[in-house]
């Protein structure tokens, strides 16, 4: 195994080694790894090519929001090849075959990369004007060539060999997302005897607790508290836990569509078992605890393999025990990236520079950075990235008052971690035609008036700290139970060592019990 694995880190099963292939090369990972985490552990960052210019691509995130690390997967047998699978969510299993996409003849040497050199000739829609002469060539030459080069991946040529199922489910309370807010809401409602369904897209419940754990919860190590919480929920007869399940649509009268993956992580699925099951869940009350998504930053070369979100590096480290590089530059405008940098330094990664566009940050952050020997550049920004198939360095400059930069210097690194703050995940809420309002001070969209019997909790309301998310989950559950005509038994979850990044304080948000406009059951 590569030396990018960190002893004592991660929630993978190191007692079970798994072999899989990527572009015909055999790699080794552990049970619990994704394709992305296993490849990164083996020092592989280049995982694909972009659609038009065939630029090198590697993972940017560690989750389902991944835009770049798209691969083809084969589950064995005819009709079981699938293109455009996110390497960041595909779990590895013995014998899994994966391939990169949009390259020829190979990922490392792609003839199509010439498009990047000729990008000035290939403006958007150039082919509609360029290939008009002679007219007869369009049908026989131009269009066939363009269509052959279009798209990502290779379309399956055989009928799908898998079976699929669908079910209906009814519940008093449906909770989407099993991070701090979702778990707190589930505990509150479950202990009250309410019929609860808790849905999460990952193989494990816990959300951000798996990636950026506080020192302790309720006086116990975070891992112990989480295990006990899941054990309690799993043994209660009024609770259904659904992992590897994605809420894909929120429909009228509180019906939520959930796609549950059943066998995509198994080397030997049971005979006749469906690959996926579609659930149509009708709930009297819904709590959306989907957290927030980290924003990227803009600079020249920010699409290079080795450039990723700061939270992704933190997830690869703490959930999968993988260092995404050996020397990193952190570029940020938010406190959370500082804590990612601290975790990486503590795991043996060199932070070549911590670049923050803000002119001033909290003294506690500066003190922790100084204690770890991190070079801090406030009021600076990353201008460009050096390297083609992998980051080799960056240019950093001081931001002046007139919007220009000065004091430009070069910093060597093999990884760039960026964070432009966080955007509340309100996709499902928007499905209901619920209104959003722009918070000018914090520069985020927040949920406004509702059209369904739903409640937003945690990061979806702009609450970045885990203590605030736990408290808001309890609050959302109490309000949902009140709507159900039940008297909630209040619980409390106390976090010690919480890393509260800059964000919105709960008192500034609209209450979770805003008047509903429609959709009463």
Which three-class secondary structure state does DSSP give residue 471? helix
Mean pLDDT on 167-182: 97
pLDDT of residue 391: 96
Confirm if 186 and 198 have CB atoms less than 8 A apart.
yes
- How does residue 75 score in pLDDT terms, banded at 50, 70 and 90? confident
CA 132 to each of CA 21, 118, 122: distance values in angstroms, whole numbers, following the listed order: 44, 20, 15
- What value, to the nearest 5°, has the Cα angle with vertex 266 and ends 261 and 269? 90
- How does residue 489 score in pLDDT terms, banded at 50, 70 and 90? confident
**Cβ neighbours of residue 364 closer than 8 Å, sequence gap 6 or more:** none
Among 335, 327, 340, residue whose Cα is nearest residue 366: 335
Pairing state of beta strands 444-447 and 216-217? unpaired
pLDDT by residue (tens digit) across 353-386? 999 999 999 999 999 999 999 999 999 999 999 9
State both tokens at 121: 């000739």
Whole-angstrom distance, CA of residue 126 vs CA of residue 322: 43
Mean pLDDT on 34-56: 92
Is 442's pLDDT higher than 50? yes
CA 434 to each of CA 255, 292, 478: distance values in angstroms, whole numbers, following the listed order: 15, 17, 21
Which of 84-98, 119-133, 182-196, 210-224 has the least mean pLDDT?
A: 119-133
The torsion region of residue 283 among left (phi > 0), alpha (psi -120 to 50) and beta comes to beta
Q: Is the bond preceding residue 31 a cis peptide, omega within 30 degrees?
A: no
Confirm if 282 and 272 have CB atoms less than 8 A apart.
no
CA 446 to each of CA 9, 181, 295, 439, 441: distance values in angstroms, whole numbers, following the listed order: 35, 16, 15, 7, 12
State both tokens at 284: 């009297």
- How does residue 130 score in pLDDT terms, banded at 50, 70 and 90? low
CB atoms within 10 A of CB 403: 6
State both tokens at 184: 């707190």
Coarse DSSP helix, strand, coil percentages of the chain, rounded to the nearest 5 percent: 25, 30, 45
pLDDT of residue 511: 47
Confirm if 300 and 487 have CB atoms less than 8 A apart.
no
Is 7's pLDDT higher than 70? yes
| Cα torsion through 376, 380, 392, 124, rounded to 10 | 150
User: What share of the chain in percent tops pLDDT 90?
Assistant: 74
Q: Which of 464-498 are b and which e, b meaning 16 or more Cβ less than 10 Å from the residue's Cβ?
A: bbbbbbbbbbbbbbbbbbebbebebeeeebebeeb
pLDDT of residue 148: 65
**Cβ neighbours of residue 420 closer than 8 Å, sequence gap 6 or more:** 294, 295, 296, 297, 332, 333, 334
Among 103, 71, 98, residue whose Cα is nearest residue 85: 71
């Amino acid at each position: 195994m590569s030396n990018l694995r960190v002893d004592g880190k991660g929630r993978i099963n190191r007692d079970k080694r798994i072999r899989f292939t990527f572009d015909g090369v055999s790699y080794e990972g552990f049970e619990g790894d994704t394709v992305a985490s296993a490849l990164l552990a083996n020092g592989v960052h280049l995982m694909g090519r972009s659609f038009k210019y065939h630029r090198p691509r590697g993972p940017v995130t560690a989750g389902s929001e991944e835009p770049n690390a798209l691969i083809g997967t084969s589950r064995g047998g005819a009709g079981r090849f699938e293109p455009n699978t996110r390497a960041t969510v595909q779990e590895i299993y013995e014998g899994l075959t994966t391939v990169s996409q949009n390259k020829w003849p190979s990922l490392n040497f792609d003839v199509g990369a010439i498009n990047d050199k000729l990008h000035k000739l290939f403006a958007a829609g150039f082919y509609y004007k360029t290939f008009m002469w002679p007219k007869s060539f369009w049908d026989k030459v131009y269009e066939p060539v363009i269509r052959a080069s279009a798209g990502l991946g290779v379309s399956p040529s055989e009928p799908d060999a898998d079976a699929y199922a669908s079910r209906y489910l009814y519940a008093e309370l449906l909770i989407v997302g099993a991070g701090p807010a979702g778990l707190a809401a589930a505990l509150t409602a479950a202990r009250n005897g309410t019929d609860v369904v808790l849905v999460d897209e990952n193989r494990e419940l816990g959300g951000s607790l798996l990636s950026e754990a506080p020192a302790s919860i309720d006086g116990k190590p975070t891992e112990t508290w989480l295990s006990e919480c899941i054990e309690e929920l799993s043994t209660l007869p009024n609770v259904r836990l659904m992992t590897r399940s994605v809420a894909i649509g929120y429909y009228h009268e509180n019906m939520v569509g959930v796609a549950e993956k059943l066998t995509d992580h198994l080397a030997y699925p049971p005979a006749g078992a469906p690959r996926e099951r579609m659930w149509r869940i009708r709930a009297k009350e819904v709590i959306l605890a989907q957290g927030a998504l980290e924003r990227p930053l803009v600079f020249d070369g920010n699409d290079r393999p080795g450039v990723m979100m700061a939270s992704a590096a933190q997830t690869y480290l703490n959930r999968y025990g993988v260092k995404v590089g050996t020397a990193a530059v952190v570029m940020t405008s938010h406190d959370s990236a500082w804590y990612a940098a601290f975790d990486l330094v503590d795991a043996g990664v060199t932070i070549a520079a911590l670049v923050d566009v803000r002119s001033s940050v909290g003294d506690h952050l500066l003190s922790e950075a100084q204690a770890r020997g991190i070079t801090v550049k406030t009021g600076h920004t990353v201008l460009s990235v050096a390297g083609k198939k992998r980051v080799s360095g960056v240019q950093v400059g001081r931001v002046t008052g007139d919007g220009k930069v000065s004091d430009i210097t070069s910093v060597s690194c093999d990884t760039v971690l960026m964070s432009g703050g966080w955007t509340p995940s309100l996709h499902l809420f928007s499905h209901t035609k619920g209104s959003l309002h722009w918070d000018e001070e914090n520069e985020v969209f927040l949920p406004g008036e509702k059209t369904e019997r739903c409640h937003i909790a945690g990061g979806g309301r702009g609450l970045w700290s885990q203590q605030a998310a736990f408290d808001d989950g309890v609050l959302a559950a109490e309000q949902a139970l009140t709507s159900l005509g039940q008297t909630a038994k209040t619980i409390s979850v106390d976090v010690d060592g919480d890393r509260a990044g800059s964000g919105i304080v709960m008192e500034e948000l609209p209450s979770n019990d805003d008047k509903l406009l429609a959709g009463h059951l």
